[in-house]
Structure formats: structure tokens, C-alpha cells
Amino acid sequence: MATETQRSTGRRRNPATRATILATAFAVVAELGYAGLTIEKVAARAGVGKQTIYRWWPNKGALVLDAVLERTAGAGPDGAPAELPDTGDLEADLSAVLVATVEEFADPDFDRALRGLTAAVIEDAELALAYRERLDGPMRELKKRRLRRAQEAGQLDPDVDLDLAVDLVFAPIAQRWTERSGDLTPDGARTVVRHALRGLAAP
């Protein structure tokens, strides 16, 4: 999946081609959805041979994962933001993160691309592993770090499992997004954080 660093003889891989393919894949999945995305379509639009795609990505899912990753990684300076905000006010910090997430979902391109990736991840266990390791995992780690500091500061139940805490804070909004079961508003996000934290507070 394009993460090898092997030195070898022969012509080297063209990074511009890789970038073009990923940008095109993102555009296609944003426009037509995951089901509507076709390797042939991406190849044609990117002005690239099909084999050039098949050489580097085993299937649609891997391609879309890389395409989304390329976009979200662009948020931070060298990959991902190194740390979540920490002003000492846990509720405000988590609200800021969740509100930012809600605003990302409001972008139709990002919404459709992420929907495509999520649909693929649900069915494909192998892709789900790659997704966890490269997208969800790092983000979850940041959340856990922030919560751990709060826990050490006595703002959180010291016995609570941090993975559970992350789920309690972030899953309700994520779930609402996948199932389209309600509006996604900044206010709603803040209310979720308030109640979740109340449930996780030190006794």
C-alpha cells in the first residue's frame, strides 16, 4: 500500500502519478459514492493505465482508504496534529474537537468520501484493520491521551477504561452520522459531551 521503502534497480515510482490517482479517486468517490467508483473510471479520469492502479492497490477499498488518508493527513503539519487541545477545561476541549468533526461532516465531498470508506470498512475485515491502524487508531490515541491527563487531574473516574470513555463521548455523534438518524449540530455535540462527561466523572 505504498509504504515500502525498498531500494531497487529499475525505474522509480512516480510520486506525481500516485498523487494524481489518489486525488482523482477522492473526487470520484465524492461525486459518485463508493458503489459508483470504478477503477476504470479513476484510471480514465486520471489519464493513467489501469495496471498502474492495480500495481499499487489491491482493490477499491485500499485505494479509497489511501485517498481519504491523503486528505485528512493534510490537516496537520507533518501527518496528523500531534495533540488535542488542552486548556485545562476538559468539556470545552472535547466539545471543540467534536464540533470540528461535525463541521467536517458538513462538507458534502468529505461526507460522501468518508461514507464510501466506512461502507467498505464494515464489510471488509482486512480493510477495517488497516483503517484502525492508520486512521482511527492514531486519532483514538490522541483522545485517550487527553482523557488520561484529565483522569490524572482527578476530573475523571480513575477506574474507568479510557477506550470506553472515548466511545461514550464520540460514538453517539458518529452513530448519528452513519445512520442519518438526526441532525448534526454543534449544540447537539456539546450536549453529548456534557452528559458523557457527567457519566465519567469521579464519584
Partner DNA sequence: TTGAAGAGACGAGACGTTTCGTCTTGACAA
Partner DNA sequence: TTGTCAAGACGAAACGTCTCGTCTCTTCAA
The site for DNA (CB under 7 A) is made up of 7-14, 17-18, 38-41, 47-52, 54-56, 59-60
Q: CA 105 to CA 114: how far, in whole Å?
A: 9
Q: Taking the mean position of all CA atoms in its chain, how far away is CA 162?
A: 19
- Residue 180 sits at the vertex; the CA angle it makes with 179 and 182, to the nearest 5 degrees, is 120
115-130 burial code (b ≥16 CB/10 A, e <16): bbbbbbbeebeebbeb
Is 75 a residue that touches a second copy (CB under 8 A)?
no
Place of cell 461532516: 105
Compute the least distance from the CB of residue 33 to DNA, in Å. 12
185 binds, among a second copy, DNA, none (CB under 5 to 8 A by kind): none
In the bound state with a second copy, the residue whose beta carbon lies nearer, of 36 and 81, is: 36
State which amino acid sits at residue 66. D
In the bound state with a second copy, the residue whose beta carbon lies nearer, of 52 and 138, is: 138
Q: Tell which one of 1, 154, 195, 202 touches a second copy (CB under 8 A).
A: 195
Binders of a second copy in range 137-166 (CB under 8 A): 140, 157, 160-161, 163-164
Asked if 142 and 83 touch (Cβ cutoff 8 Å), the reply is yes
Q: Tell which one of 132, 133, 148, 153 touches a second copy (CB under 8 A).
A: 132
13 binds, among a second copy, DNA, none (CB under 5 to 8 A by kind): DNA
Asked if 53 and 71 touch (Cβ cutoff 8 Å), the reply is no
DSSP assigned state of 44: H
Compute the least distance from the CB of residue 54 to DNA, in Å. 5
Q: Tell which one of 38, 153, 182, 185 touches a second copy (CB under 8 A).
A: 182
Residue 130 makes CB contacts below 8 A (sequence gap 6+) with 1, 62, 65
Contact residues toward a second copy (CB under 8 A) are 33-35, 115-116, 118-123, 125, 128-129, 131-132, 136, 140, 157, 160-161, 163-164, 167-168, 170-172, 174-176, 178-182, 188, 191-192, 195-201
